[in-house]
Amino acid sequence: MNATEKSLHWIVDKWLAPTPSMPARVIQVRNNRSEHQRFVRVEALRPTGLLSIIFFRHDDGTWNVFPPSMPRPAIQL
């Protein structure tokens, strides 16, 4: 799956399935590339209560519900 197929809009639709009567709202945005903290918190009201999901931006441009792995030390030759 390429990056355009996993846009933020696509993944919000997949996980939250917003509707006009139950829209999803962006609550928090964090964009700190130096600390690898790029995420968006989205909330949607559901019949069972408020649902909040954090979507993490990965270096390949995709959005996921899991954070990107942290860079590990490596020996450069």
Range of the domain at 26: 3-64
75, 24, 74: which is closest to 53 by C-alpha? 24
Q: Encode pLDDT of 22-41 as tens digits.
A: 899 999 999 886 666 789 99
The span from the CA of 2 to the CA of 7, in Å, is 9
Q: For residue 56, is it within any domain? A: yes
Assess contact for 65 and 15: CB atoms under 8 A: yes
Report the predicted TM-score, pTM, of the whole model to 2 decimal places: 0.76
| Model confidence at 5: pLDDT above 70 | no
Q: For residue 52, is it within any domain? A: yes
- Residue 37, both tokens: 């903290």
| Model confidence at 70: pLDDT above 80 | no
Q: For residue 76, is it within any domain? A: no
Q: Encode pLDDT of 41-63 as tens digits.
A: 999 988 899 999 999 998 888 89
Residues in a beta bridge with 53:
42
User: What domain count does the chain have?
Assistant: 1
